Structures are given as C-alpha cells and as structure tokens.
Amino acid sequence: MQERTGIVTSRGNPVTLLGPEIRVGDKAPDFRVVDNGMAPVTLADFKEKIKIISTVPSLDTPVCDRETRRFNEEAARLPGSVVVLTVSLDLPFAQKRWCGAAGVDRVKVLSDYQDRSFAAAYGVLIKELKLLSRSVFIIDEKDVVRYIQHVRETGTEPDYDAVLGAVKGVLESLPGR
C-alpha cells in the first residue's frame, strides 16, 4: 500500500498516511462501510447527492465529538440535496451509543472497522496509530471529488468555513441555479 508523509501530524509528530492520494477532479472511489445497524453502506447509497464526508480518529475524543456535533448543526441548514457522513473506525455499537448521547441525528455516522475500505480507497489510514486521519471530502452529485481538506494536526478541528464555502460553490454550480 502506498505510504505518504508530510501531510498530517499527531501531537506534533509526523505520521504516515496509507493509501492513494485523492485529488480534486478525481472520480470518487467506491467504499464499503457499515451503519449503526451493521448494514453495508457504499458510495452508491448516496447517488445524486452532494456528499460531505468527514473522517475522524474516534468519536469518543473531544475534538471528534465537537467536529461531528458541529457538522450535525450545519447539516440542519443544508438543503436536502446534501448529505453529511462521518466515518471512523469506531465500532458501530459505540457510534450508535455516542450519537444517542450527543443528539446527533442529521449526520450519518459510519464505521470502517470491518474492511478499512474507505481508509484504503481515500488514503486516510494513519499507519502508526491504525486510526483515520481528520479529513473532509466533498463529492458532487456525479461522484466527482470537488474539495479535500486534510487537517494538518489530528488534534485540530477542520476549517468549517472553507468546507461550507466549498459546498456552497458546488451547490451554485448545479444546473438550473
């Protein structure tokens, strides 16, 4: 598997991302993750939707908790043509418990624990920690990657304004707008 360095740090220490470098303009790779009920979920399940996909190390950490809650709040303000997904390696049972306790009901929280399919396809598995990096991908309704943000330090939240600005740009580029 391809190894990439110089992209992400954890607690100030450089770490290695495993997998390919996805670029803006690429066709979004398919993946297979599971939802809180252990049902398989793939990219095709969100066909013709604009997808904000946030990857986090673990929902049970303060930064991931804040990030997913914030995206849940933002999801309430986005049109129905946009879906917000959070992917982690947390077990689906833990994700379900966390969502219930946090009141997260608009973000679809998905687990990559079985196959690490998302991690391998999107290049976000941290070799040293065996966790996902903190990254955000925006994929348009035709499954083309339109925006990528790899958060430099895993203990830092993403630039929400940049993410929301990119989503707005994708929405404005839709035919009929």
Provide the residue range defining the domain that includes 7: 3-172
Residue 61 in domain = yes
Binned at pLDDT 50, 70 and 90, residue 1 comes out as confident
Mean pLDDT, all residues of the chain = 97
Q: For residue 7, what is the domain's CATH number?
A: 3.40.30.10
Residue 177 in domain = no
Residue 18 in domain = yes
Catalytic one of 52, 64, 85, 138: 64
Residue 166 in domain = yes
Residue 68, pLDDT > 70, answer yes
Calculate mean pLDDT across residues 25-33.
Answer: 98
Short-list 54, 90, 92, CA closest to 75: 54
Rounded to whole angstroms, how far apart are CA atoms 107 and 70? 10
**pLDDT of 120-151, one tens digit each?**
999 999 999 999 999 999 999 999 999 999 99
Residue 26 in domain = yes
Looking at residue 46, what DSSP letter applies?
G
Q: Output the pTM of the full model.
A: 0.97
Residue 91 in domain = yes
C-alpha separations of 30 from 41, 99, 143 in Å: 10, 25, 9
Rounded to whole angstroms, how far apart are CA atoms 23 and 18? 15
Per-residue pLDDT, 3:
98
Residue 35 in domain = yes
| 17, 8 contact by CB (below 8 A) | yes
Percent pLDDT > 90 in the chain is 97
Rounded to whole angstroms, how far apart are CA atoms 15 and 154? 10
Query: What is the number of structural domains in the chain?
Result: 1
Per-residue pLDDT, 175:
79
Taking each helix axis from N to C end, the angle separating 62-77 and 92-102, rounded to the nearest 10 degrees, works out to: 70
Between β-strands 32-34 and 131-132, what pairing exists: parallel, antiparallel or unpaired?
A: unpaired
**pLDDT of 81-127, one tens digit each?**
999 999 999 999 999 999 999 999 999 999 999 999 999 999 999 99
Residue 40 in domain = yes
Residue 177, pLDDT > 70, answer no
Residue 176, pLDDT > 80, answer no
- 64 given a catalytic annotation: yes
